[in-house]
Structure 1
């Protein structure tokens, strides 16, 4: 009998997902299927949380940003008036009889690009005469100042605020032989209206007023609609009766764009909302200015029995504010320990920061006012004496401090300010939903081919022909 040769079983060739039943295939793919289900559920929860829970926060967030962009242009216009009140004040740099100093005037600083808003000064009415030192020219000046509501003394508030603030005044010498005239100029050196003064010592005051009214009404109010102070803002600041030497300075530069916080910046162009689009114009790129300086004043004496006498007056643009020259406070921070110190510290004034603003609705009589917001008033004091409250009540007093330098910082309430949006994290939920949708899309696309592969292997392991046997020649006849 012939021996039966044993059959050689070769190593089975590796096939991915080589399963024999559909249940085995399901066990192999259960992790993948769970990933698909979890991505769908997680993405749906992200969107549901964004719409149902964060929706109000989302709307408030975008509306705040949109409103700020809209109103910021208005703030820029009013802050421009702050600059014009400094740079477009009455330019009268001439001497007149009886005048001890030149009329307050300083060359204007360079104008910043105010979002294509061309700065316009009030029209100016110039006194043109051969010799400005004559009594005839001075009489003409008195009539013009009366028509403009101004006082002859430099830095004096309006005499007639109802007539003031509409035009500027000035004077200049002209060649001999020309009569004394009032010449009106707008934005260039070309005169557009002239009033000849034939009798300087018998001037028709009504005619001069009508001429000034005509000049003021010839300009659109929207172009120069601001309250002209009686003098430059920097020249119209006084503390305790002493003029503050101040000047216009840059407070914050051009790096003040109103941009959304992350992640809004990355998707601002994808969101169809004007307020969220980074390309919006007039969004706080303008700089902010302030007027700052100092004055050497006498700090009045202080006694607890007469506190009302220890005040100093701050005047800006004709508006005055009384400030405490002394401050009383605890010498140390409050302590919960028994027997803590009851000493106090008496300090004197060394620094002032205030804010003013233009109020057009009040008219020229109340056009510039101090801000009533406590945050806009900041006083700095330097310690002078430390002791017990009993000693102060017993009569301890302090002599006046002579030649004390006090810094003054005047800001505009309408100045562009740094705007910080609230921290909003709702976009991260939308990003998470996008990621889950991407995972679902990729997984679904691949699992279709994997199911076909499992089907192929199950039929092959059961001895069945492939799925496509009907289209194969070697299985013809099955």
Structure 2
């Protein structure tokens, strides 16, 4: 009788079922290499970041830090640009239809809000004190007598829009006038900045026999109440937008937003805001005004007569641009070569003759020249841009022979007045160091996970080696069935 050999019992699968430590090492060598390579790669990335990219990263951080320091200064001086437009002395005689004696907390038509929706308190213009002349009828002789004494003490003239008599005194306060109910005496009421309650009041009991010393002392008290941060700033006699003239014609202009809060200042991906990347100094707070720096400009247009053109009399084509009392001469015509300078010497040269169609200039307050210097044109040629529209093209010989052009009547010219202290566009260098840090973090994560698992893997290998050698498990002393083994 044939007997079949007993079927071999299939051995149950066990992970890492090895018999020796060498065999276990061969099974785990790939895992061990991953751990070693992650440590080496992460160390090299950090070393590269610290030793090689450190200077580049420092430049990135320092440039942004310097920009935020100068940004605060720019905002302080650019604030004067807003003050000169919003807080200048209006018509000091009478304001028909005016119901609000105080300027709004922001330029008219503009919404000074930060990107996060909070009020823009860092650059809100704070106007100088205003002295309001209160009369029952401000056109009476008694009121005019009081007005004359007030204007003389303040340092402004009776005629609206004329320069100050004393720019230091007149620039410290503003004047206004309003009608009050009958029965109230003629009074001078002072309001500090945009306060609602009066700061001081002077009652004029004898308007035809005014004590000028008393009025002078009253104005002095109000003038000395100016915020110390505004001492160097003097209010212009007229708004900046109202004091722009081209060829003797007033430009119809207004204050407008030129660049928003961020001014296209962005960090490289994955960051979106630079201040989130480098909250310096202290690394725990952001610099004041960081990322909150809009720029404003005054823009408008005017219809003027372009003077006649003659190549023999170029000075006759100069027209004057006046801004805040300063004057700059501009060329109403421009002659430019039509082709590059690659033509043969002695050959005929074609040119284009163009007339003025656009002006862009920059002005700024110069504190070093004193408060009465007011606003000056920027001397930097890059701040002056003139746009011309082509009118004629031909040979230079024809112009030299006496070709002339008649005046162009009612030609519209756009005028753009910018502030040299306005925050400029700012570009940071390309920064890629964060990607090395991210890679190092990734390698550290791989090392951490691998190290945690390798401890359990080594225990499993040890367990299998003892089991395959017929030895009890590594924890047999704590098991009941091996008690006494």
Find the partner of 2:311 among 283, 304, 310: 304
Cα shift readout 1:218-258 (whole Å, capped 9, x = no counterpart): 33333676220011122111111111112223334556696
- Aligned to 1:439, what secondary structure does the other structure show? helix
How many angstroms apart in 1 are the aligned matches of 2:255 and 2:101? 11
Aligned to 1:58: 57
Aligned to 1:75: 74
Find the partner of 2:171 among 161, 165, 173: 165
Please give the residue correspondences for 1:332-351 in structure 2 after superposition, counting only pairs within 5 Å.
Answer: 334=340, 342-351=349-358
Cα shift readout 1:144-190 (whole Å, capped 9, x = no counterpart): 43443334443333344344311212334456677765443333363
Aligned to 2:240: 233
How many angstroms apart in 2 are the aligned matches of 1:143 and 1:127? 11
Alignment of 1:14 onto 2:20: no
Distance change >3 Å, CA 177–CA 29, structure 1 → 2: closer
- Aligned to 2:164, what secondary structure does the other structure show? coil
Cα shift readout 1:69-90 (whole Å, capped 9, x = no counterpart): 4443443343333222222222
Aligned to 1:190: 198
How many angstroms apart in 2 are the aligned matches of 1:41 and 1:355? 57
Aligned to 1:125: 131
How many angstroms apart in 2 are the aligned matches of 1:86 and 1:412? 12
Identify the range of structure 1 (399-408 vs 161-170) with the bigger mean alpha-carbon deviation. 161-170
Cα shift readout 1:44-94 (whole Å, capped 9, x = no counterpart): 011111111122222232233334444434433433332222222223364
Normalising by structure 2, report the TM-score: 0.81
Judge conservation of contact 1:227–1:358 (CA < 8 Å) in 2.
Answer: no
How many angstroms apart in 2 are the aligned matches of 1:403 and 1:108? 35
Q: Say how many residue pairs are matched.
A: 470
How many angstroms apart in 1 are the aligned matches of 2:350 and 2:226? 63
Aligned to 2:41: 42
RMSD over aligned Cα, in angstroms? 4.0
Find the partner of 2:444 among 397, 422, 437: 437
Alignment of 1:115 onto 2:114: no
Judge conservation of contact 1:302–1:398 (CA < 8 Å) in 2.
Answer: yes
Normalising by structure 1, report the TM-score: 0.82
Q: Alpha-carbon deviation of 1:455?
A: 3.0
Find the partner of 1:366 among 373, 376, 380: 373
Q: Alpha-carbon deviation of 1:468?
A: 4.3
Distance change >3 Å, CA 226–CA 117, structure 1 → 2: same
How many angstroms apart in 1 are the aligned matches of 2:469 and 2:294? 81
Identify the range of structure 1 (349-358 vs 175-184) with the bigger mean alpha-carbon deviation. 175-184
Distance change >3 Å, CA 50–CA 469, structure 1 → 2: same
Aligned to 1:318: 325
- Aligned to 1:222, what secondary structure does the other structure show? helix
Judge conservation of contact 1:268–1:277 (CA < 8 Å) in 2.
Answer: no
Aligned to 1:262: 269
Alignment of 1:84 onto 2:92: no
Distance change >3 Å, CA 109–CA 223, structure 1 → 2: same
How many angstroms apart in 1 are the aligned matches of 2:139 and 2:384? 44
Judge conservation of contact 1:79–1:412 (CA < 8 Å) in 2.
Answer: yes
Q: Alpha-carbon deviation of 1:420?
A: 4.4
Alignment of 1:24 onto 2:32: no
Cα shift readout 1:90-147 (whole Å, capped 9, x = no counterpart): 2336469xxxx999x9995662343266643222234445554456655554454344
Distance change >3 Å, CA 188–CA 208, structure 1 → 2: same
- Aligned to 2:120, what secondary structure does the other structure show? coil
Q: Alpha-carbon deviation of 1:442?
A: 0.8
- Aligned to 2:228, what secondary structure does the other structure show? coil
Gaps of 5+ in 2: 107-111, 113-118
Q: Alpha-carbon deviation of 1:469?
A: 5.0
Aligned to 1:295: 302
Judge conservation of contact 2:93–2:158 (CA < 8 Å) in 1.
Answer: no
Judge conservation of contact 2:149–2:210 (CA < 8 Å) in 1.
Answer: yes
Distance change >3 Å, CA 223–CA 212, structure 1 → 2: same
Identify the range of structure 1 (426-435 vs 276-285) with the bigger mean alpha-carbon deviation. 276-285
How many angstroms apart in 2 are the aligned matches of 1:378 and 1:266? 32
Alignment of 1:214 onto 2:213: no
Alignment of 1:402 onto 2:409: yes
How many angstroms apart in 1 are the aligned matches of 2:312 and 2:452? 89
How many angstroms apart in 2 are the aligned matches of 1:450 and 1:74? 63
Q: Alpha-carbon deviation of 1:211?
A: 4.0
Judge conservation of contact 1:166–1:228 (CA < 8 Å) in 2.
Answer: yes
Alignment of 1:415 onto 2:414: no
Aligned to 2:109: none
Judge conservation of contact 2:243–2:325 (CA < 8 Å) in 1.
Answer: yes
Distance change >3 Å, CA 346–CA 153, structure 1 → 2: farther
Q: Alpha-carbon deviation of 1:371?
A: 2.8
Gaps of 5+ in 1: none
Find the partner of 1:427 among 427, 434, 437: 434
Judge conservation of contact 2:259–2:294 (CA < 8 Å) in 1.
Answer: yes
